[in-house]
Structure 1
Amino acid sequence: MTDNSPRASSVLDRVLVLEMVRVTEAAAIAASKLVGRGDEKAADAAAVEAMRAALNELPMDGTVVIGEGERDEAPMLYIGERVGLYRPDSGTPGNGPKIDIALDPLEGTTITAKAGPNALAVLAIAEQGHLLNAPDTYMDKIAIGPGYEPGLVSLTRTPSENVTALAKAKGCEIGEIIACVLDRPRHGAIIAELRALGCGIMLIPDGDVAGVIATSDPDTGVDIYLGQGGAPEGVLAAAALRCIGGQMEGRLFFRNDDERARARRWGIEDLDRIYKLEEMASGDCIFAATGVTDGSLLKGVKRRQGGMLETESIVMRASSGTVRRVSGQHYKGVA
């Protein structure tokens, strides 16, 4: 349920919605210089550095709850890092709003390296304590768009049961349903089950944030998202659906004891818990994304004559239910 309380609104009002777009624009522009260059790490590092610099210019005391990993694994934008003008080590006097931040400076590093579709710079913010502080592990996910009875689909059911229930709710044949699934060997059983059912499948190479969001846009043709992807991307996608409507569930998946121990360090005790949408992103929240390469959600960064850059972004807010598309022209090559 959207939190429209004055306290919630006033906190995020101090960090302007369009400032979030400036942050994702900066990351997208930096990453776009390495599109098709075959260097995933360099593209990711460029996006991370640009996003961090932009965040540190904002009048807030922000904490990264979804980032590039833990401190010993990521030099910048790690989980727990403080950002903003009023972070404790900034030396800037002031008492800015305390904000939780989920981010992926480059959602689709492989996509960017190969000049594929749907690479994004992504960011979500909420009041402190309103975004799931998830470790950098995998997450089982299921999502559909708005307008359906709550609980229509669930991770407790099989893919066939979920698709059958969705087709019945839509009043269509199962063969008319399109499921979006990451093209990974681990999804072989899901893909086989869906094809045996007669369901259509849109396989995507990467970019499951865009894949989840696609369920809310009739123009994409995607009806349901199924499969396992990154937990950070799951929280980001949940923040987007909180703004535009839809249903989503997530369950953390741990490959080894080290990942289980990391989860417990972040306060997660029930390792088999299924998280509802509102448990991954609650209260008022803002989601922003800028395209790095062309995709179903956004156009990528374009370089024009004279050094001008064009960007396309989307920004959403839960409390107001607004979605804004922002076209930017950057004549100095920076956001």
Structure 2
Amino acid sequence: MKLSKVEDGRHPANLHRTLTLEMVRVTERAAIAAAEWRGKGDEKAADDAAVNAMKSELDRVAISGRIVIGEGEQFECDELYIGQPVGAGQGPDVDIAVDPLEGVTLCAKNQPDSIVVLAMAERGGLLNVARNVYMHKIAIGADYAPGTVHVDWTATENVRSLAKAKGVPVSEITAIVLDRPRHAGLLEELRMAGVSVKLLSDGDIAGVIHAVNTEDTGVDIYLGSGGAPEGVLAAAALRCIGGQMQGKLILDSPDKRLRAREMGIEDANRVYDVTELASGDVLFSATGITDGSLVDGVRLRRDTVETSTVVMRSWSQTTRWIRARHAR
């Protein structure tokens, strides 16, 4: 993975680097729990196992944490709900965004790219969004000039601008898009423009990361709409590895607009960049459940379990891949 300088100025390192390893332990445990249900067709059981393991492990970490992006509202779920305190109750005040099972269908079907994701930031560092809110997203690598693409432009305008900045014809641009019925028009427009399209069956956090890592993945741009929580988690990763991203919330009902205002969002049409989605000192960890292009999946053996994790830190711009063996 090509790393690029994310910011010219260094903000204070308010989250101690030892927290990165604690985060790895959390995502590892959730991935192992979900892997026990891998390929068994029971999405709820897999998700419940990941949630319970993540909550249990989070409560061992020396933080005063608060879930700002979780499984839903307090009345919708038992654990990891928005506003729930987590951690041992000592240590730094932090906001936490979680996706205990990104790609729950992928896990249930034992298909690639199911992962556990956790982001941690200083209090107030992560945009608070509800679980049921979607977001228009666009992401490209860090090497392009600001303003090369924009979430409000058409897909054709974006890929033409990107191709010009890259110095290639549009036919040499590859876009990654979630394979959803709502994207039928987007896919038709991209293909009419001559763009090569890579479809994601699920897991758009990894999709955004692939789009900013063109050298390794061959993907130039992420386009389309997906979950707003996943957008914030992806932005947390980009704060650590570099890359450009914009997000615009889709608040298409009075209830969603009201909940957004309650969470501090006043402008429903605001376009957020990476630093507005995830600011300050940010940590990110993802552990594979099934094999994928970002990390390998859990290996369940007779006496041991092997996990593969990528963990990142914005302050040091460090990315580590950790392969661990656990007693079973």
Query: Normalised by the size of structure 1, how large is the TM-score?
Result: 0.93
> What is the aligned partner in structure 2 of residue 241 from structure 1?
238
For the residues of structure 1 that align with 2:275 and 2:59, how far apart are their CA atoms? 28
Give the deviation of 1:264 after TM superposition. 1.6
For the residues of structure 2 that align with 1:207 and 1:256, how far apart are their CA atoms? 25
Instruction: Identify if the C-alpha distance between structure 1 residues 19 and 272 changes in structure 2 by more than 3 Å, giving closer, same or farther.
Output: same
1:261 aligned to 258, 263, 266, which one?
A: 258
Q: Secondary structure at the match of 1:75?
A: coil
Q: Secondary structure at the match of 1:12?
A: coil
> What is the aligned partner in structure 1 of residue 118 from structure 2?
123
1:303-322 alignment runs, 5 A limit = 303-304=300-301, 306-322=302-318
> What is the aligned partner in structure 2 of residue 25 from structure 1?
28
1:182 maps onto 2:178 in alignment: yes
String of CA shifts for 1:229-276, please: whole Å, max 9, x gaps.
001100000000010000000011124222222212212121111111
String of CA shifts for 1:188-212, please: whole Å, max 9, x gaps.
1100000000000001110000000
Contact 1:4 1:284 in 2 (8 A): no
For the residues of structure 1 that align with 2:325 and 2:149, how far apart are their CA atoms? 41
> What is the aligned partner in structure 1 of residue 127 from structure 2?
132
Give the paired residue count.
Answer: 320
Contact 2:139 2:212 in 1 (8 A): no
Q: Secondary structure at the match of 1:117?
A: coil
For the residues of structure 2 that align with 1:61 and 1:182, how far apart are their CA atoms? 35
Segments ≥4 residues shifted beyond 3 Å? none
Give the deviation of 1:145 after TM superposition. 1.5
Report percent identity of matched pairs. Answer: 56
Q: Secondary structure at the match of 2:15?
A: helix
Contact 1:14 1:97 in 2 (8 A): no
Deviates more, 1:48-57 or 1:152-161: 152-161
1:299 maps onto 2:308 in alignment: no
Q: Secondary structure at the match of 1:259?
A: helix
Contact 1:138 1:229 in 2 (8 A): yes
Contact 1:40 1:109 in 2 (8 A): yes
> What is the aligned partner in structure 1 of residue 4 from structure 2?
none
2:15 aligned to 6, 9, 12, which one?
A: 12
RMSD of Structure 2 on Structure 1 (CA): 1.2
For the residues of structure 2 that align with 1:214 and 1:266, how far apart are their CA atoms? 30
For the residues of structure 2 that align with 1:202 and 1:252, how far apart are their CA atoms? 24
For the residues of structure 1 that align with 2:164 and 2:271, how far apart are their CA atoms? 24
Give the deviation of 1:160 after TM superposition. 0.7
For the residues of structure 1 that align with 2:52 and 2:193, how far apart are their CA atoms? 46
Gaps of 5+ in 1: 87-94
Give the deviation of 1:14 after TM superposition. 6.7
Aligned residue identity for 1:264: R
For the residues of structure 2 that align with 1:203 and 1:294, how far apart are their CA atoms? 17
> What is the aligned partner in structure 2 of residue 89 from structure 1?
none
For the residues of structure 1 that align with 2:285 and 2:58, how far apart are their CA atoms? 13
2:37 aligned to 19, 34, 37, which one?
A: 34
